[in-house]
Amino acid sequence: MAERDRKVFRFGVFEADASSGELRKSGVRMKLQEQPFQVLLILLERSGEIVSREELRQKLWPSDTFVDFDHSLNTIINRLREVLGDSAANPRFIETLAKRGYRFLLPTELATSRDGGVANTATPPGAIADAAQQEIRSGSASFLTQPEELPAVRHEYVRILFLLIQIMYLSFYIVTLARLQIAVELLEQGLGRTVWIPATLIVTAAIGIPLRLYLLSAIAFDVKDLGRKFSKLFPAALVLDELWALSPFLLTPQIGLGLALGITAALIYVPFAQRTLVLMRERARTTLGS
């Protein structure tokens, strides 16, 4: 019986076997239909190059086939991103180039072998190292919610919730600055008299107000690529928001320690809720079109 040549593309923790039509992640087979797998192979074979939508149409559907090409291809790309854990807003694998096509970003390793034989691997220079670095970068935020884990929610709902969060923080800053002396006195009762208390309140509020105004305008006017921009702001915003999450303790004499603890616990989560809402917004945009 004649032996068959096998072609296996490796990228990161994934392997795509062209002969069997299987995609595996860390050895575990992923569920992927035939057409998305065909598109993946095309992108892998031309890793780093732009593959136009027209090229994909010609390879997937004969010229005499009647199909809603744009919708079908968008569905295929979205399915690929879902399986790979990728997103259009922050692509690790498949990049969308508007009106041009798609490009596979991660370096690939092609292994060819005979069935039952030893693989003969041809690896582009630095591909394995680049892939490992990519996996490390992506893994550093793996404890946070990823776009593919979120449902596609209507953009209007996400916008309203995000706007309300920004208004809440603006209210904190403005009320605190308006009653700065009272806030300082309350803090000094528990922490002692020190010059850094009013300075911290003023500086963090001065940073927080323009940040909230920017996010308010960005979500209100539907700024493009907000997900990428917010990911850069998130570490600094997280520190700022966690500091202000302690503000309910200023009201302990009025609301009691238990309620202050409960409100603080909720406010500690709010920065992560903001990040989730931004990701949901980007996922909704991706689902509607690539």
Residues 154 and 116 placed together within one structural domain of the fold: no
Is 284 in contact with 156 (CB distance < 8 Å)? no
| Boundary-marking domain end, from 111, 142, 173 | 142
Same domain, 42 and 132: yes
Claim to verify: residue 93 and residue 109 sit in the same structural domain: yes
| Rounded Cα–Cα distance for residues 51 and 45 (Å) | 10
Residue 111 forms beta bridges with which residues?
A: 8, 121
Domain of residue 130 covers: 5-142
Same domain, 64 and 127: yes
In a shared domain, residues 281 and 158 = yes
Residue 184's contacts (CB-CB under 8 Å, 6 or more residues apart) are 197, 198, 201
pLDDT score for 113? 61
Helix residue spans in the chain (DSSP H):
34-45, 53-60, 69-84, 127-139, 155-178, 180-191, 196-220, 226-244, 252-255, 257-288
Please identify, among 117, 142, 167, the residue that sits at the C-terminal boundary of a domain: 142
pLDDT confidence of residue 168: 94
CA distances (Å), 26 to each of 6, 11, 29, 82, 207, in order?
19, 11, 8, 16, 44
Residue where a domain stops, chosen among 82, 109, 142: 142
127 and 156 belong to one structural domain: no
Residues 219, 90 share a domain: no
The CATH number that applies at residue 75 is 1.10.10.10
Residue 241 pLDDT: 93
- Per-block average pLDDT, block size 10, for the chain (290 residues)? 68 89 88 90 91 87 69 88 87 87 88 55 43 44 63 80 94 90 82 80 93 92 83 91 88 86 94 89 60
88 and 179 in a single domain? The answer is: no
**Do residue 117 and residue 153 come from a single domain?**
no
Number of folded domains that form the chain:
2
Q: Torsions phi, psi of 89, nearest 5?
A: -70, -40
